[in-house]
Chain A
Amino acid sequence: MDATPPVEEDCACKQGMFPRKSLSRRSLLFAAGSVAAVAAPTRGRAENAAPPGAAHYDVAVDPTRELGRALGVDGGYGTRSQFETAVRLAAANPNAYTTSSLTPLASQIGNLTPSGLHYERHHAGVPTIDPAKHSLVVHGLVATPKRFTIADIQRMPSVTRRHFIECSGNTASEWGGAKAKTVQLTHGLLSTSEWTGVPFSTFARQVGLNPEGAWALAEGSDGAVMTRSIPIEKMLRDGLIAYGQNGEALRPEQGYPLRLVLPGYEGNTHIKWLSSLQISEAPFMSREETSKYTDLAADGRAWQFVFEMDAKSVITFPSGDMKLPGPGYYEIRGLAWSGRGRISRVEVSIDGGKSWTQAELAGPPESICTVRFKLPWLWDGKPAVLLSRCQDETGYIQPTREKLVAERGLNAYYHYNGIQAWGVAPDGSVANVAA
């Protein structure tokens, strides 16, 4: 055992912070499995290869002097523009089945993440499930164990709510100090969607919860048969059995045809491909809630069942690896969110935290949902350090990295929500720097 090599934490969330150095744009296209990218390069010009999610069309010399393309050539399901290239960045992981991909937050416009850019974390690949053969069984400490087909669930009274989901490993690269290059790498395990489904409380009435039922074990139908024990109070308060995402069915990577949505809880508890909810008196102590998603403290013991994602914000523009063309007007933009409720305030500093200015929230903040913030900025061409910090309606204020480390040590890995700093150099280049 003495020869055991040090093995890094296997969480793909972390590996996502260190993308393959050799990841070229071309290999990324292939890696993403784009039919267009794979099929097109062998014939015609290389630029005819459209990015994933797009189709190539010849560009009009003067679109006012020729007919556009006919309706229906897309087969009835539209694609994005061939000029839009943002993609999820796959984690550098030798195992492509238990890994993650990160949302390109720097290019996200508005508050919702396009379904095809929602971050992923899989533990045994993405299963292909026929919804006609899928169902949810609610059993355990209940009066009447029941099976609900997808058709059953779609008949039940539904709700639609906007919530973020954040992996507990998001931003874990920054525990030891400024590290990852871009906001996609530092904060991309965060996405926001409009979810549609049926509250768990409705299922609870249908099966009749036994008063001793204090936990629900959610189980997925992937190869990991992933399980997490969830407190029944949370399930009853706002647990959602979701089948819809952003106006259509869930994407397969997001749990098609059924996933659990637990607003504000760490991402891995939102069990995808949900097939069973077993009500119990006590948690089952599954692998994910003992050996995996627990936060190691400095004394060698670990915090368990750390569910809520704390208030957090990040500036997405300007952010790491960008280059500002020169001094002048810019709108600083970013996202803020809290697993405990609404964001009440976001402040921005352009001088490394010496002074703070309240940013404008782009619309009324929703509970347990991201909100955009913005602040106009006239850059004078001198070095600047841009920070954001947020406060949620509970009064909690996003902490500095130093405070987090003093409180939790350097081994917690999960639940990092420290203030992020981006340094702007006189040449306009932007880099991840110490806050």
Chain B
Amino acid sequence: MSRLSWTLGLALAFVGAAAATAESPPEPNFGTPVSEAELARYVAIAPNGTGLPSGRGDAARGREVYLAKCVACHGAHLEGVKETGGLPLVGGRGTLASAKPLKTVESYWPYATTLFDYVRRAMPFNAPGSLSDDEVYSVAAYILAKGHVVAEDAELDAASLLRVEMPNRQGFYRDPRPFGAATTAR
């Protein structure tokens, strides 16, 4: 109230300035700048290869990794294991328009970079983030070879992973919602 009576006789612009000063101090700096070194742990991998680490691996080494760390949940034939919730990784090509679509890395995943990113961050399920980059390249090569996406003897590294052509690369609509707000019940 006293502020109000004090400002009553003053020009409007000055009232505005006084109010702004009293009620809205400039936003202070929050947070602390982080160094490039600290940012090194954020390793999301983009489809253009950004974030892909050095290292390499092939299906033969990938099979060893798979049999040691993946087979319990994903099965000897990469067919998935219902009892563990482990998903099938291969098969399903040609099923996506059927009554029983089978979505797998082979039939559905549009980018090989996604496979590398996901395995590295979230697998094995019981020890996420425990695989070396070479192991991730290897097991990715094994899964893609078993899905007939790459050759049995293909070696994957940052460059060759980017060249992998996933079978369902063109399987996604760019328009996220062709139906959307136009839908009505009447």
From A6, A310, A400, B100 is in contact (CB under 8 Å) with A6
Contact in complex: B90, A225 (CB < 8 Å)? no
* Contact across chains for A287 and B173 when beta carbons are under 8 A apart: no
Binary interface encoding of chain B residues 168-183 relative to chain A, with 1 for a CB under 8 A from any of its CBs, else 0: 0001110111111101
Taking a contact as CB atoms closer than 8 A, the residue among A6, A155, A285 that contacts B46 in the complex is A285
User: With an 8 A cutoff between CB atoms, is B14 at the interface?
Assistant: no
For the complex, is A113 an interface residue (Cβ under 8 Å from B)?
no
Known: A291-B109, A310-B180. 19 other contacts (CB 8 A): A4-B79, A4-B80, A4-B88, A4-B91, A6-B100, A94-B84, A137-B42, A145-B33, A146-B32, A156-B30, A206-B30, A219-B44, A285-B114, A287-B114, A300-B96, A301-B96, A310-B183, A397-B186, A410-B99
Given contacts A4-B77, A7-B102, A145-B39, contact A285 B171 (CB under 8 A): no
Which of B42, B91, B177 is the one whose CB lies under 8 Å from A139? B42
Main DSSP-derived SS at the B contact region: loop
Contact assessment for A224 and B31 in the assembled complex, using a CB-CB cutoff below 8 Å: no
Could you give 19 example pairs across A and B, Cβ below 8 Å? A1-B77, A4-B79, A4-B92, A6-B102, A94-B82, A145-B34, A146-B32, A148-B32, A217-B44, A219-B44, A278-B42, A284-B47, A285-B47, A286-B118, A287-B109, A294-B172, A300-B97, A301-B172, A303-B173
Residue B16 lies at the interface, judged by CB distance under 8 Å to chain A: no
Q: Please count how many residues in chain B sit with their CB below 8 Å of the partner chain's CB atoms.
A: 62
Residues of the A chain whose Cβ atoms lie less than 8 Å from the Cβ of B38: 137, 147
Given contacts A4-B88, A7-B87, A227-B44, contact A146 B34 (CB under 8 A): yes
**Contacts A98-B85, A397-B185, A411-B101 given; does A291 touch B177 at CB 8 Å:** no
Restricting to B118-139, which residues have a CB under 8 Å from any CB of A?
Answer: 118, 121-122, 125, 128-129
Knowing A124-B125, A291-B109 are in contact, say whether A303-B33 is a contact too (CB < 8 A). Answer: no
B21 within 8 A of A: no
Do the beta carbons of A287 and B118 come within 8 Å of each other? yes
With an 8 A cutoff between CB atoms, is A234 at the interface?
A: no
A360 contacts chain B at the CB level, 8 A cutoff: no
Which B residues, 74 to 114, have Cβ-Cβ distances below 8 Å to chain A?
77, 79-80, 82-85, 87-88, 90-92, 96-97, 99-103, 105, 108-111, 113-114
Contacts A10-B85, A146-B31 given: A285-B101 contact, CB under 8 Å? no
Q: Which of B34, B96, B122, B185 contacts A137 (CB 8 A)?
A: B34
Q: How long is the Cα–Cα vector from A153 to B31 in the complex, in angstroms?
A: 8
Which A residues are in CB contact (< 8 Å) with B117? 284, 286-287
The reply to whether A95 and B30 contact each other, CB–CB distance below 8 Å, is no
**Who on chain A is nearest to B146 by CB?**
A1
Q: How many A-B residue pairs have CB under 8 A?
A: 203
B residues at A contact (CB < 8 Å): 27, 29-34, 38-39, 42, 44-48, 77, 79-80, 82-85, 87-88, 90-92, 96-97, 99-103, 105, 108-111, 113-114, 117-118, 121-122, 125, 128-129, 171-173, 175-181, 183-186
Task: Find out whether the CB atom of A396 lies under 8 angstroms from the CB atom of B80.
Answer: no
Q: Which of B87, B97, B118, B175 contacts A10 (CB 8 A)?
A: B87
A3 lies within 8 A of chain B by Cβ:
yes
Shortest Cβ distance from residue B46 to the other chain A in the assembled complex, whole angstroms: 5
Per-residue CB contact flags for chain A residues 379-404 toward chain B (1 = under 8 Å, else 0) read 00000000001000011111110011
Closest approach, in angstroms, between the C-beta of B40 and any C-beta of chain A?
11
**Nearest chain B CB to A137's CB is how many angstroms away?**
6
State which of A93, A226, A340 has its C-beta within 8 Å of the C-beta of B85.
Answer: A93
Q: How far is the CB of A388 from chain B (nearest CB, A)?
A: 11
Q: Per a CB cutoff under 8 Å, which of B91, B175, B185 touches A419? A: B185
Q: Once bound together, how far apart are the Cα atoms of A298 and B30, in whole Å?
A: 49
Task: Say yes or no for A168: interface residue by CB 8 A criterion.
Answer: no
- Given known pairs A3-B77, A145-B33, the reply for A224 and B122 (CB within 8 Å) is yes
Contacts of B32 in A (CB 8 A): 146-149, 152
B44 touches A303 (CB 8 A): no
* Cβ of A201 to closest chain B Cβ, rounded Å: 11
A282 vs chain B, min Cβ distance (A): 7
Give bound CA distance, A213 to B105, whole Å: 29
From 191 to 222 in chain A, residues with beta carbon under 8 angstroms from any chain B beta carbon are 202-203, 205-207, 217, 219
A299 within 8 A of B: yes
A402: nearest chain-B partner, CB-CB: B185
Q: How far is the CA of A33 from the CA of B95 in the complex (A)?
A: 41
Question: Cα distance A296–B110 when bound, in Å?
Answer: 13
Contact B30 A400 (CB under 8 A): no
What are the 10 closest A-B residue pairs judged by CB atoms, nearest first?
A300-B97, A95-B85, A146-B31, A300-B96, A287-B118, A225-B121, A148-B31, A305-B176, A223-B128, A4-B91
Q: Decide: A407 and B183 in contact? CB cutoff 8 A.
A: yes
In the assembled complex, the Cα of A286 lies from the Cα of B43 at a distance in Å of 12
Give every chain B residue within 8 A of A290 (Cβ-Cβ): 109-111, 114, 172
Residues on B with C-beta less than 8 A from A123 are 122
Q: CA of A82 to CA of B83 in the docked complex: distance in angstroms?
A: 36
A47 at the interface (CB under 8 A from B): no
A291→B108 contact, CB < 8 A: yes
Alpha-carbon distance A124/B31, docked complex (angstroms): 29
Mark interface residues in A257-299 (1 if CB within 8 Å of B CB, else 0): 0000000000000000000101010101111001100101111
- Give chain B residues whose Cβ lies under 8 Å from the Cβ of A4: 77, 79-80, 88, 90-92, 102
